[in-house]
């Protein structure tokens, strides 16, 4: 397992370097620059600005400057927010996005596994159809619809929860976590049901039952361990997706997370910010995929032995 | 196990859902204003930032020589208590407030203004608004590095509290310019403690470091969350300031902002989702505000494009737009059809230009230009940045041009930066545009269409127009000046490099507790006059 770990980490380095290089040149290719605005700046001012950010230098020189910076962890200053470094902005948004991702994945796991396992155990009954239908709706309903709907019901009509914010008013973390977690709960429910159905028909479950174990013991101790491997494999990309894809929820609920920085940086042509966040998200995706692969390996007795 | 989880969630939700007072209700007691501020401000260095949200925060933190009148019109004393203007209108002498202080207790002196203006005119700072001071003698030369000696620039400290400014020409709107943040002072020692004079990335603007001379101090700043400012007891006019704190929320999503307002989390919104406006008008929503605004929505013609070189074609296009129909059926929120570039009423300037909606005349003009029918005319492209409201207007105009003139029109929407880039390099035929005045004077509009102005973008150049604007800005007599500007405006409409469509209005929501907030065409609402009081 350690060899696999080292191999994967070594493989991650060229991946990240390639992501950084491609992104560097792609953002420069996009039409429009960071200082374009409705009120056009004079050529003299533009020249001054380009000089201030070293954008007048040859592209190759800028590339090597940038790459040597990121090796020591310096992502440069943001073009859009003078006086703030990209690293500082990532570190400001990351804890918030991370917290949101954790709550969402917890909600997703609890709801998803619970309904997935019940659906598998009570196959072809109302306990199967109902949660699976809800799961289908959960997959289909986009967060930009679910979020405002929940706000309308719980925030504006019932006045139970705040309509926006993060850590500013009591309970303001509930609706965004549910909104973001719901779609993932739906996936987990379907994956969990599938995995459980496959395992429940296997010989070792029959053996466990014949030994006289209670149904709870059979399900929790034996069936779930194997049945939920697809869910575990899904968790890595899911957490990475939650981190990078929380933009919509962050916008709907006015959450100061990383997703907003990422998307707004692209709109603003904030070159260093786009690069910094892209590299950072790539790193997170690589790491979470690796972790979920390792966890799945460890959970699966067959691959553990081999 | 599941029972425990269930209990945990139940307790969690019940605790969280305990009813709490809305921020606007607690704000009434603590005198805290919750301000919906659109996007996250780029920063609070008045010499570097540009934009409306930045202006909102800066007007609470810093103050220029004059300050904008909350009811619009004449500027009010700011850091300067009074001023005199020489007979030829070129020399302004400002007398600073005797008890004017920076937030760290240092006195605000004339030297502070000289140093601050030197800073914004320092080329390597890369300020985007140095041209606001180009009216000052030798300011443009210093900024463009044609001269090195700042002593030659027309700003000097006569004594600690007297500042003298010499202009190139009598510039009747100069006092109005001074309420723009780019002319405001910064605290020299604080700036230099965190970087050089031309350091864009100095950390002097952080909470704890920031020093300025406005009615409020910077208390905290959480990126994308909120900026809090608190009352500055050292401000020279602190007795006028009623609010204790202002919380600025960068709410970019207009729907979120609307929901926050409805839930009592904001006292005002920066704007309103356009589809809600007609609904709120019909419902008689008391919080809906539709105020006059100094802005024009127009279509820009690329006069260098072969199809649009002929003025008769441009006129035909402009005359076949039913502006009234657009404001009544498309925008539907109190916008006013525009028949001039400068919005009427800007500092009592009323342009006399007319743009008829006359389909027959338009057809004849097109015929005169050599197109017997619209089908002979090449396919015309309307460029706009991706936005549902712009699309609706473009669709309406597309239909009008097709029906009235028989011209085929294609709509092209682009991402904001791509759209700006295409406009800048002249890669368009017709593009949607908007212009908002920086100060209350027609010059802020008419100046943009002079030759070599970056915001012209039409390729249209007319020396007579240029001469008229220059002449107007050297004229002290306002009546005579407006006459000249009117002539320039008429020339613009005669040659039609742009087709004005409607005059903007400011549409937003304001809580009924807010007092001291008046409609004005620059949409400047100085926080020092705002009070919270429930009737």
Give ipTM to 2 decimals.
Answer: 0.84
Q: What is the pLDDT of residue B230?
A: 97
For the segment B311-351, what is each residue's pLDDT rounded down to a tens digit?
Answer: 999 999 999 999 999 999 999 999 999 999 999 988 889 99
Mean pLDDT of chain B: 92
Separation of alpha carbons A305 and B4, rounded Å: 35
* Closest by Cβ to A89, choosing from B15, B18, B223: B223
Nearest chain B residue to A170, by CA: B16
What single string gives the DSSP state of each residue in A156-204? Answer: IIS--S-SS-SSSSTTTTHHHHHHHHHHHHHHHHHHHHHHHHHHHTSHH
| pLDDT, tens only, A51-72 | 888 888 899 999 999 999 888 8
Q: pLDDT digits over B279-307, tens only? A: 999 999 999 999 999 999 999 999 999 99
Q: Which of A204-218, B12-26, B123-137 has the highest mean pLDDT?
A: B123-137
The Cα of B434 is separated from the nearest Cα of chain A by a number of Å equal to 8
Q: Enumerate residue ranges in chain A where pLDDT < 50.
A: none
Instruction: Answer yes or no: do A32 and B200 touch at CB < 8 A.
Output: no
Is the pLDDT reported for residue B273 higher than 70? Answer: yes
Say if residue B8's pLDDT is above 60: no
Instruction: Tell me the average pLDDT across B445-454.
Output: 90
Q: Is the pLDDT of residue B526 over 80?
A: yes
Whole-number percent of chain B with pLDDT over 70? 96
- Taking a C-beta distance cutoff of 8 angstroms, is the pair A258, A96 a contact? yes
Section B80-95 average pLDDT: 96
Asked if pLDDT for residue B117 goes beyond 60, the answer is yes
- The mean pLDDT of B185-212, rounded to a whole number, is 94
- DSSP-derived 3-state class of residue B75: coil
Percentage of chain A with pLDDT > 70? 97
What values do phi and psi take at B123, rounded to 5?
-55, -45
Q: Which pLDDT does position B333 carry in this prediction?
A: 93
Q: What pLDDT shows up at residue B375?
A: 84
Q: What's the rounded mean pLDDT across residues B183-201?
A: 94
Do A256 and B253 lie within an 8 Å CB cutoff? Answer: no
Cβ atoms of B442 and B420 within 8 Å: the answer is no
Short-list B476, B485, B494, CA closest to B441: B485
What pLDDT does residue B14 have? Answer: 46
Which pLDDT score, from 0 to 100, does residue A301 have? 66
* Cβ(B462)–Cβ(B202) below 8 Å: no
Q: Are residues A31 and B200, on separate chains, in Cβ contact within 8 Å?
A: no
Task: Show which of residues 478-507 on chain B sit within 8 Å of chain A, judged by CB atoms.
Answer: none
**Chain A contact for B386 (CB, 8 A cutoff):** no
Cross-chain Cβ contact B418/A32 below 8 Å? yes
> What's B140-186 look like in SS3?
HHHHCCCCCCHHHCCEEEEECCEEEEEECCCCCCHHHHCCCHHHCCC
- pTM equals 0.89
Task: Report the pLDDT value the prediction gives residue B20, as an integer from 0 to 100.
Answer: 64
User: What residues of chain B lie within 8 A of the CB of A253, using their CB?
Assistant: 256
pLDDT score recorded for residue B1 = 45
- For residue B475, pLDDT over 80 is answered with yes
Report DSSP letters for B193-222, one per residue. Answer: HTS-TT-TT-GGGSTTT----SSEEEEEEE
Lowest mean pLDDT of A235-239, B14-18, B219-223, B317-321, name the range: B14-18
Interface test with B, best of A33, A35, A40 (most B CBs within 10 A): A40
**B498-509 and B531-532 strand pairing:** unpaired
Average pLDDT over residues B367-392: 92
Measured between CB atoms, which of A41, A51, A162 is closest to B124? Answer: A51
By Cβ distance, the residue of B23, B225, B415 closest to A256 is: B225
The residue with greater pLDDT, B57 or A197, is: B57
pLDDT recorded at residue B307: 93
**CB-based contact B415 A52, cutoff 8 Å:** no
List all residues of chain B from 37 to 56 with a beta carbon under 8 Å from chain A: 40, 42-43, 45, 48-50
What is the signed CA dihedral for B55, B61, B67, B69, rounded to 10 degrees?
70
**Residue contacts between A and B (CB atoms, under 8 Å):** 161
Give backbone dihedrals phi and psi of A85, rounded to 5 degrees, phi first.
Answer: -90, 155
- Report the pLDDT averaged over residues B128-155: 94
Are A37 and B420 an interchain contact pair (Cβ–Cβ within 8 Å)?
yes
Name chain A contacts of B16, Cβ cutoff 8 Å: 161, 170-171, 174
- In this prediction, residue B221 carries a pLDDT of 95
Indicate which of A34, A44, A48 best probes the interface with B, i.e. most B CBs within 10 Å of its own CB.
A48
Average pLDDT over residues B499-528: 95
Reported as a pLDDT band with limits 50, 70 and 90, residue B511 is very high
Chain A: residue whose CA lies nearest to B258:
A163
The structure tokens listed for B522 are: 């620059």
Task: State which residue of chain A sits closest to B419, comparing Cα positions.
Answer: A32
């Amino acid at each position: 397992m350690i060899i696999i770990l080292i191999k994967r980490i070594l493989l991650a380095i060229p991946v990240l370097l390639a992501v950084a290089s491609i992104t560097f040149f792609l953002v420069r290719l996009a039409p429009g620059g960071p200082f374009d605005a409705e009120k056009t700046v004079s050529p003299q001012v533009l020249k001054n600005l380009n000089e201030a950010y070293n954008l007048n230098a040859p592209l190759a020189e800028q590339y090597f400057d940038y790459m040597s910076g990121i090796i020591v962890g310096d992502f440069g200053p943001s073009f859009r927010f003078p006086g703030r470094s990209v690293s500082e902005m990532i570190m400001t948004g990351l804890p918030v996005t991370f917290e949101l991702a954790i709550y969402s994945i917890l909600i997703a796991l609890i709801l998803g596994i619970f309904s997935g396992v019940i659906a598998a155990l009570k196959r072809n009954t109302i306990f199967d159809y109902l949660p699976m239908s809800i799961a289908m709706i959960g997959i289909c309903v986009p967060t930009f619809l679910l979020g405002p709907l929940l706000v309308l019901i719980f925030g504006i009509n019932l006045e139970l929860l705040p309509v926006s914010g993060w850590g500013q008013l009591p309970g303001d973390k509930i609706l965004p976590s549910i909104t973001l977690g719901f779609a993932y709960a739906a996936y987990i429910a379907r994956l969990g049901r599938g995995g459980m159905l496959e395992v429940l028909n296997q010989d070792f479950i029959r053996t466990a039952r014949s030994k006289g174990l209670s149904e709870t013991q059979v399900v929790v101790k034996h069936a779930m361990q194997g049945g939920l491997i697809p869910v575990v494999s899904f968790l890595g990309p899911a957490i990475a997706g939650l981190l990078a894809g929380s933009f919509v929820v962050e916008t709907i609920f006015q959450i100061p997370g990383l997703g907003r920085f990422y998307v707004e940086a692209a709109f603003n042509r904030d070159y260093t910010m786009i690069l910094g966040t892209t590299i950072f998200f790539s790193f997170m995706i690589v790491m979470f995929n690796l972790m979920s692969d390792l966890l799945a390996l460890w959970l699966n007795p067959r691959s553990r032995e081999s | 196990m599941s029972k425990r989880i269930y209990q945990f969630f139940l307790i969690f939700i019940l605790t969280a859902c305990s009813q709490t007072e809305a921020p606007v209700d607690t704000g009434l007691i603590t005198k805290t204003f919750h301000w919906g501020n659109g996007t996250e401000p780029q920063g609070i260095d008045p010499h570097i930032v540009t934009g409306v949200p930045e202006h909102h925060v800066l007007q609470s933190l810093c103050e220029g020589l004059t300050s904008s009148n909350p009811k619009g019109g004449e500027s009010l004393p700011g850091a300067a208590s009074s001023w005199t203007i020489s007979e030829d209108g070129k020399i302004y002498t400002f007398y600073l407030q005797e008890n004017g202080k920076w937030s760290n207790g240092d006195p605000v002196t004339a030297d502070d203004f000289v140093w601050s203006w030197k800073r914004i005119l320092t080329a390597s700072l890369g300020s985007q608004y140095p041209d606001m001071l180009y009216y000052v003698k030798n300011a443009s030369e210093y900024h463009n590095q044609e001269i090195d000696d700042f002593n030659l620039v027309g700003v000097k400290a006569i004594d600690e509290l007297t500042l003298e400014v010499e202009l190139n020409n009598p510039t009747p709107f100069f006092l109005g310019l001074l309420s723009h943040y780019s002319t405001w002072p910064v605290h020299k020692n604080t700036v230099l403690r965190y970087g050089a004079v031309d350091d864009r990335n100095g950390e002097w603007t952080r909470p704890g470091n920031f020093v300025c001379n406005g009615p409020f101090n910077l208390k905290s700043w959480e990126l994308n969350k909120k900026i809090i400012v608190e009352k500055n007891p050292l401000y020279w006019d602190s007795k006028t300031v009623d609010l204790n704190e202002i919380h600025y929320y960068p709410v970019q999503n207009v729907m979120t902002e609307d929901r926050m307002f409805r839930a009592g989390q904001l006292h005002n919104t920066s704007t309103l989702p356009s589809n809600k406006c007609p609904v709120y008008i019909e419902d008689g929503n008391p919080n809906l505000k539709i105020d006059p605004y100094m802005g024009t929505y127009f279509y820009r013609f690329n006069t260098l494009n072969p199809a649009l070189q002929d003025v008769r074609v441009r006129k035909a296009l402009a005359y076949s737009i039913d502006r009234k129909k657009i404001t009544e059926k498309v925008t539907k929120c109190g916008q006013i059809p525009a028949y001039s570039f400068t919005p009427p009423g800007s500092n009592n300037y009323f342009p006399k230009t007319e743009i008829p909606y006359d389909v027959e005349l338009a057809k004849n003009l097109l015929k005169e230009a050599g197109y017997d029918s619209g089908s002979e005319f090449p396919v015309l492209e309307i460029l706009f940045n991706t936005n549902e409201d712009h699309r609706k207007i473009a669709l309406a105009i597309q239909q009008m041009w097709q029906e009235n003139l028989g011209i085929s029109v294609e709509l092209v929407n682009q991402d904001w930066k791509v759209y700006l880039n295409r406009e800048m390099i002249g890669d368009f035929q017709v593009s949607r545009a908007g212009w908002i005045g920086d100060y209350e004077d027609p010059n802020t509009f008419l100046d943009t269409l002079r030759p070599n102005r970056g915001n012209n973008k039409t390729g249209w150049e007319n020396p007579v127009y240029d001469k008229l604007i220059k002449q107007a800005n050297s004229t002290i007599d306002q009546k005579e000046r407006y006459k000249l500007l009117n002539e320039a405006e008429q020339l613009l409409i005669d040659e039609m490099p742009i087709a004005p469509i409607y005059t903007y209005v400011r549409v937003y929501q304001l809580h009924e507790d807010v007092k001291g907030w008046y409609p004005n065409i620059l949409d400047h609402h100085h926080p020092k006059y705002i009070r919270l009081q429930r009737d």
